């Protein structure tokens, strides 16, 4: 029986915004990728690893959520404010940066149960008009032994 690699490959077709694809191709070119398919496979793996990593965290964490959004997108600022008020117990502070004419960046300092922080992060990820959300966090130190 043959187990050629191609046997396990699935062919998909997808629609992407022109600019996203052009930006992706630029990255591939800079990284000397010969094949777009290989680039997409690697990008998918990165996406999966990042999600799994976020999912495996446990306990109380302190961290930063970085959100980049298009403030011209109708309702996005209100939705972001709404979500943040909902999670005010986990949010210690936030900073707004007017990044470009179009884009804003919000840096949100969070502290608390990682399940709740993850919920907050994913709610913001799902909002239309939000282009990028990244959570970085570390154990918040409450379980560390004092010196």
Q: Which residues are at the interface with Ni ion (CB under 5 A)?
A: 98, 104
CB of 142 to Ni ion, least distance (A): 34
Give the residue at shortest CB distance from Ni ion: 104
Q: Is 94 left (phi over 0), alpha (psi -120 to 50) or beta?
A: beta
CB of 64 to Ni ion, least distance (A): 18
CB of 12 to Ni ion, least distance (A): 37
**Beta carbon nearer to Ni ion, 104 or 110:** 104
Q: Is 17 left (phi over 0), alpha (psi -120 to 50) or beta?
A: beta
**Beta carbon nearer to Ni ion, 98 or 128:** 98
**Beta carbon nearer to Ni ion, 76 or 104:** 104
Number of Cβ within 10 Å of residue 141's Cβ equals 10
37 φ, ψ (degrees, to nearest 5):
-60, -40
Residue with tokens 């999670």: 87
**Beta carbon nearer to Ni ion, 41 or 98:** 98
CB of 71 to Ni ion, least distance (A): 5
Number of Cβ within 10 Å of residue 119's Cβ equals 15
């Amino acid at each position: 029986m043959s187990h050629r690699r191609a046997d396990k490959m699935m062919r998909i077709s997808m629609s992407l915004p022109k600019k996203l694809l052009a930006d992706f191709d630029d990255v591939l070119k800079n990284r000397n990728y010969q094949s777009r398919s290989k680039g997409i496979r690697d990008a998918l793996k990165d996406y999966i690893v990042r999600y799994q990593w976020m999912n495996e965290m446990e306990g109380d964490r302190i961290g930063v959520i970085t959100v980049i959004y298009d403030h011209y997108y109708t309702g996005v600022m209100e939705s972001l404010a709404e979500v943040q008020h909902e999670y005010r117990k986990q949010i210690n502070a936030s900073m707004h940066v007017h990044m470009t004419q179009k884009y804003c960046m919000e840096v949100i300092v969070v502290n608390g149960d990682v399940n709740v922080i993850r919920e907050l992060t994913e709610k913001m990820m799902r909002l239309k008009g939000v282009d990028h959300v990244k959570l970085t966090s570390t154990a918040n130190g409450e379980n560390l032994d004092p010196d």
